[in-house]
Structure 1
Amino acid sequence: MASSSSSPPGRTYNDAIDALNTLQTPHSVIAARRAANVRPDAHSLTEMRSYLSRIGYSPSDLDRLHIIHVAGTKGKGSTCAFVDSILARHTHPRPLRVGLFTSPHLIAVRERIRISSRPISEELFARYFFQVWDRLGDDGTKPIYARYLTLMSWHVFLAEGVDVAVYETGIGGEYDATNVVERPAVAGISTLGIDHVYVLGKTVEEIAWHKGGIMKAGRPAFSVEQGAAAEEVLRRRAEEKGVELRVLGVDRRLEGVGVRPDAVFQKRNATLAVALAETALAELVPGFRLENEGPFPKEFVEGLEQVVWRGRCEVKEEDEVTWYVDGAHTVDSLKMASRWFTGECAERAGPKVLIFNQQGRSEAIDFLDGLCNTVKKADPAGRGFRHVIFCTNVTYAETGYKRDFVNHQYDPKDIEKMTAQHAFAEKWAKLDPDANIMVIHSIEEAITTARGLSKDVEPGQKVQALITGSLHLVGGALGILEKADAL
């Protein structure tokens, strides 16, 4: 990691993050837009093309990146990580330089832009951030936070000579900032469900329409198996666009491959990743061909088995607490996370503890039912979480947010009053009156509280603590648990 002294005054990594944070849309503006029913539309992409031009590129320049474009509600991040891991191990006729763009970050913003599976350094981030900043000029118009990072990622990957870039959409697909790409190497759609209802709609059909927007005429596209309604919309969109969409069942070649966790949903993600990687390699490497039958080559097996994707189905051991960390943040993914949790700690003795948050989404109150009931049903005695902690995403008790975690999109008054957390607590009290429910201001205090519960456990037992509900919460927790600055 480069020291800040290697950058000119006012142009350090911290300076870049502070400047980036000024591009966040304030909560008051978001509230006004919602009141006026303003949503992203085609104009959003017109703006992105204009910004791209102002920093010296055209959409056709992005063709050089051979972009693998992935949308979905659940599993798109894991799918992207699998693809990146597979491609990074391909060395014939030479190693590929692979870019990966994802969101959100867990601990440091630079995690969103990776080359060769590593976050770009603070020095590189600052350099390219301010190059884009300067090219956009001082006329006062710059893209908002997520769009700026998307724009910057294209500049980074083109300047660094990346061979292939894997892109995860932010929200949706049709009007997402990443959708300026006109000729992706291939598009993939992971499992669809209900999420971001204000932007994308309240039905899976509406959401499928948005996600299907990343398919491009004449370019290959794949989807995992979906519900009938969502699949019908995707097929209709593919037909309208002149795209041959292939819907994939779980790949039989995965039998014997150690995909983690060993669950159907993850095998679907791995199946999609294999198809995307195969298609991209066929375009990138002359003569590349992977047989549909028989075992995967070594690069694919290692890529799937050795992938590192933090904040998803992680287990961390301490002397008195076992932490189970998963960034699930939808109804369905939280049910999956709770099933994973109960499976992992089925043979472990000790009280179950939940640390949960989801900020700024009114529908999050409905996330709790499945989480509570899944854990109760898995217990022979019908007991759920003994202790339940609802906290905000504020990182530290005394110093507040880490610089990379500053978020102006949420109402600061709601965070100070812990409005959402009290609502969660009230709901949980109805779901499980026997639980000990706590509302705590910061992630640090929540972790300290969970550790303190170990003093009451019986000999040979450990606290079994699940941290879930939000990638922002999970990122803050991992930073505290590992004393890490980036992952």
Structure 2
Amino acid sequence: MRVTMATMSRNYNDAIDALNTLQTPYAVIEARRQAGLRPDAQSVKEMRAYLARIGYSSHDLDRLNILHVAGTKGKGSTCAFADSILAHYRKRHEIPKKSGLFISPHLIAVRERIRIDSKPISEELFAKYFFQVWDMLEKSRAAEDVVALGTKPIYARYLTLLSYHVFLQEGVDLAVYETGIGGEFDATNVVDRPVASAISTLGIDHVFVLGHTIEEIAWHKAGIMKSGSPAFTVEQAPSALRVLRERAVEKGVDLKVLNIDSRLKGVQIRPDADFQKKNATLAIALVETALSRLDRSFASSPEALPQEFVDGLEQVVWRGRCEIKLEGKVVWHLDGAHTVDSLNTAARWFSGQCVERTGPKALIFNQQGRPEAINFLEGLYNATKSAADGSSFQHVIFCSNITYAGSGYKKDFVNRQHDPEAVKRLTQQHAFAEKWALLDPSANISVCSSIEEAINRVRDVGNTVGEKETVQALITGSLHLVGGALAILEGDDAL
């Protein structure tokens, strides 16, 4: 059904309902997959057309002084670190006047993706600007030779378009942008003159869109590098780094490969691991580059980080990543992880947190619509199993990403991109359960139709443990799962 001005009102829930109509249905995605159709240069051309349709050009985006970040692992953390550093710098120096942050996906509410001064924009502001963009797309005849009149970009691209409108209208003068998938053909890549770009650690992910090799993936990620703008990366697999360097030469870009910043010694980075210090290193380089342009009084020191940088790094808030919540007899550990490497990292972090605690361990896991995720489980098991008896989690629960047992998805979590029959039948979850049973026959394995049901099962285990024990529960895999869990643990409106 096409949503029109006549069929909608104008509040936040209405905006989310309208936004959800822009999701590409599973049947269409599958047809494209079967036909081998992938995003190409036309995707960016269409985004430029939609940008023109709401009254902007890529030149207007220069006012946002964008820091652009791509990567497979750590790009979200890099963006969060950069945004937090900017927040602390702004408090003391009033520069930038306003900062923006655009990320994906969201954890609890869609408006989390668009933040001003580190805070998700309000429901009222989201709805106001959402419908302004909606109406302009309905009425404008700009670029009709590229996109049909009255059409709108798909879900993620619409939100990208909306973020530009929000930030420009609200006077943001420095914005951090996380790419969605890839880089070269990503919706965010209409930015022609970023202040700087960064590419975090690369790995294998989104293979249908980006390719099956690290070299193909590196080619896509390198697409955000722009002539005239410095670019940064960290240690990569040799073949990936070779591709990044080749593309930098092609684009005339000065690409710097950074070791972990020596000034991080003594800074409390969480978790205290090299992968996170690499993300912090990229954030430091991005912000130093930006402040060198925006603040004439700013001067970086090779000896020590400014206190604002230290505070930003140590006090960063990045929900759903290495997060711990205490609830009665359950200690919840939440860490979104969508690749083999990131899951292994999550497992090692969890195991380290459990060393000095007693009580059973429980796992809640899902990766919807990704058959290859079944191969992630062995690494997760090996990273958490006991050296004494080979056991891992005593309780293992595989659930769908449906939020509530009774009412289904929270509006912000509606996802039409997965096979509805597979979700209904819990096809992937049963496959996960069978795999885990082979890995650890002693585990108590179950399948649940909702996140709420899975959480309640762990709570039930908590009611049976001894007085000095707690259940050590890890919720990992899909960020949609982690976000849904946080919504249940903290209430619908928690952000």
Give TM class, smaller chain: over 0.9
2:443 to 432, 435, 442: 435
| Residue 295 (structure 1) aligned with residue 294 (structure 2) | no
Give per-residue Cα distances to partners, 1:68-117, cap 9 Å, x unaligned.
00000011001000000001111365242110000000010000000010
Q: Report the AA paired with residue 120 of structure 1.
A: I
In structure 2, the residue matched to 1:3 is none
| Residue 249 (structure 1) aligned with residue 250 (structure 2) | no
Q: Report the AA paired with residue 277 of structure 2.
A: K
| Residue 346 (structure 1) aligned with residue 345 (structure 2) | no
Q: Report the AA paired with residue 402 of structure 1.
A: K
Give per-residue Cα distances to partners, 1:186-244, cap 9 Å, x unaligned.
00011110111110111111111110110001210000111111111111111111001
Specify the SS of the correspondent of 1:393. coil
Give the deviation of 1:456 after TM superposition: 3.0
TM-score normalised by L of structure 2: 0.95
Q: Report the AA paired with residue 52 of structure 1.
A: L
Give the deviation of 1:287 after TM superposition: 3.6
Aligned ranges 1:32-431 → 2 under 5 Å: 32-91=31-90, 93-96=93-96, 97-137=98-138, 139-292=149-302, 294-376=303-385, 379-431=387-439
Specify the SS of the correspondent of 1:188. strand
Give the deviation of 1:141 after TM superposition: 1.0
Give the deviation of 1:459 after TM superposition: 2.9
In percent, how many aligned pairs have the same letter?
Answer: 68
Give the deviation of 1:9 after TM superposition: 7.5
CA–CA separation in structure 2 for the residues paired with 1:32 and 1:117 = 39
| Residue 20 (structure 1) aligned with residue 19 (structure 2) | yes
Give per-residue Cα distances to partners, 1:408-451, cap 9 Å, x unaligned.
10111100000000111111111111111100000000000011
Give the deviation of 1:133 after TM superposition: 0.4
In structure 1, the residue matched to 2:146 is none
CA–CA separation in structure 2 for the residues paired with 1:181 and 1:288 = 25
Give the deviation of 1:380 after TM superposition: 4.0
CA–CA separation in structure 2 for the residues paired with 1:212 and 1:19 = 33
CA–CA separation in structure 2 for the residues paired with 1:103 and 1:356 = 20
CA–CA separation in structure 1 for the residues paired with 2:199 and 2:121 = 27
Contact 1:89–1:95 (8 Å) recurs in 2: no
CA–CA separation in structure 2 for the residues paired with 1:307 and 1:459 = 34
Q: Report the AA paired with residue 438 of structure 2.
A: K
Give per-residue Cα distances to partners, 1:22-81, cap 9 Å, x unaligned.
000000000100011000000000000000000000001000000000000011001000
CA–CA separation in structure 1 for the residues paired with 2:81 and 2:317 = 8
Q: Report the AA paired with residue 132 of structure 1.
A: V
CA–CA separation in structure 1 for the residues paired with 2:132 and 2:159 = 12
Contact 1:338–1:375 (8 Å) recurs in 2: yes
CA–CA separation in structure 2 for the residues paired with 1:485 and 1:331 = 32
CA–CA separation in structure 2 for the residues paired with 1:369 and 1:474 = 20
Q: Report the AA paired with residue 70 of structure 2.
A: A
Specify the SS of the correspondent of 1:326. strand
Q: CA RMSD in A?
A: 1.2
CA–CA separation in structure 2 for the residues paired with 1:340 and 1:9 = 46
Contact 2:391–2:440 (8 Å) recurs in 1: no
Give per-residue Cα distances to partners, 1:341-388, cap 9 Å, x unaligned.
0000111001110000000112111111110111015x4443211110
Contact 2:95–2:295 (8 Å) recurs in 1: no
CA–CA separation in structure 2 for the residues paired with 1:304 and 1:177 = 28
Q: Report the AA paired with residue 253 of structure 1.
A: R
